Structure 1
């Protein structure tokens, strides 16, 4: 494999490529050394430790998702577009998406996303003293769901298939006496898709924002 100029950016590029192939569940110095054609020790001349590398890769995924948001959208539409893009990007790079959602990357991608969200909330009229809490609520919720979807992508196919089929199997067989609510809604539970869950989540988040705006008027 031809050697590349080894920089932090080149290492992150390689890590994103490896994560996108879904061949490994973790990004290590050994894996990246093989990908880049260098000794693994070279990786750690550019990153202090595994955590610094992980945060840099996660930050790149945030930048990728933000870049997919079309220009000129209204605040609600651009925040929704970003959330959908983030879930998609995390699911496409599950080795990173599954573990980075609960972290603070502290990089330019995260700063851009926080700025993006705070600006949108300001534009729709969220009171200044409540914007920070709303931003954190939205960020933590969307990141948590995106990481969940990424974790599902890491499951072996038989385990994932079993989880999905449980809604039409185990839940459909629930006793009406022991679990009357489940028995009553078993058919609908089996028909809910991941995309429907995401859309319902985004609707709920935006309803919360609208409620706060109305309270402040």
Structure 2
């Protein structure tokens, strides 16, 4: 490569908005990783591809993260931080848990491909610790002792994240597949034989109305009703 072409290469990268490797930090790398997964899906996230998007050799990324797994934990933290941004507990323990669950769902749906990739991970970072402290604090305020607060915290968080990740995986599907599944509730289920499936046929007209929002709120209410019932027995 000629000297003029070598000089032009980094300038071209800069014009495309890529930061030079000397300006890399964890925040910049996570921004690029989040954008890459949002745009192209989990399989696109490799160290080499990430380095290329940043205009740097992939070894420059490894100066800030020990490997891809640490980047995934950083992305998990990003989702939690987005959910916790501006959050303040209020209105009693149940309303606190409801609000936090809805915020986490919103963050997962804003980045569905990222949520599918990292929802099962333990971020072990400040935003996660903050969220855990809020949930445990709400459960202790409900009257639970430390052991039960720890158990119910794990159950509540895992169930809420599983539900949000499931919904995110649906959002991450192609639009044709999503629409086909939605139509099934209004088409195939309405057409089931009442002789063969009498109970299903009886409720079939209501199945389409149980959309994603209804499913999330119903499941959340069922879980928190159970927690509230146990708190009342203390």
1:77 maps to what in 2?
95
Are the aligned partners of 2:18 and 2:53 in contact in 1 as well (CA < 8 Å)?
no
2:12 maps to what in 1?
none
Change (3 A) 1:194 1:80: same
Structure-2-length-normalised TM-score: 0.84
Give 1:159's match in structure 2, choosing from 177, 180, 184. 177
Give the distance between the partners of 1:77 and 1:34, measured in 2 at CA: 45
Unpaired stretches in structure 1, ≥5 consecutive residues: none
1:107 deviation in Å? 1.7
2:154 maps to what in 1?
136
Q: What SS class does the counterpart of residue 167 from structure 1 fall into?
A: helix
1:68 deviation in Å? 4.4
1:24 lines up with 2:41 in the alignment: yes
- State which structure, 1 or 2, has the greater radius of gyration over its C-alpha atoms: 2
| RMSD, aligned α-carbons | 1.8
Structure 1: 4+ residue segments shifted above 4 A: none
1:71 deviation in Å? 5.3
Number of residue pairs aligned between Structure 1 and Structure 2: 215
Highest relative contact order (Cα 8 Å, sep 6+), 1 or 2?
1
Give the distance between the partners of 2:134 and 2:194, measured in 1 at CA: 48
1:140 deviation in Å? 0.6
1:215 maps to what in 2?
233
Give the distance between the partners of 1:71 and 1:190, measured in 2 at CA: 34
Give the distance between the partners of 1:129 and 1:70, measured in 2 at CA: 25
Give 1:179's match in structure 2, choosing from 170, 173, 197. 197
Structure-1-length-normalised TM-score: 0.91
1:33 lines up with 2:85 in the alignment: no
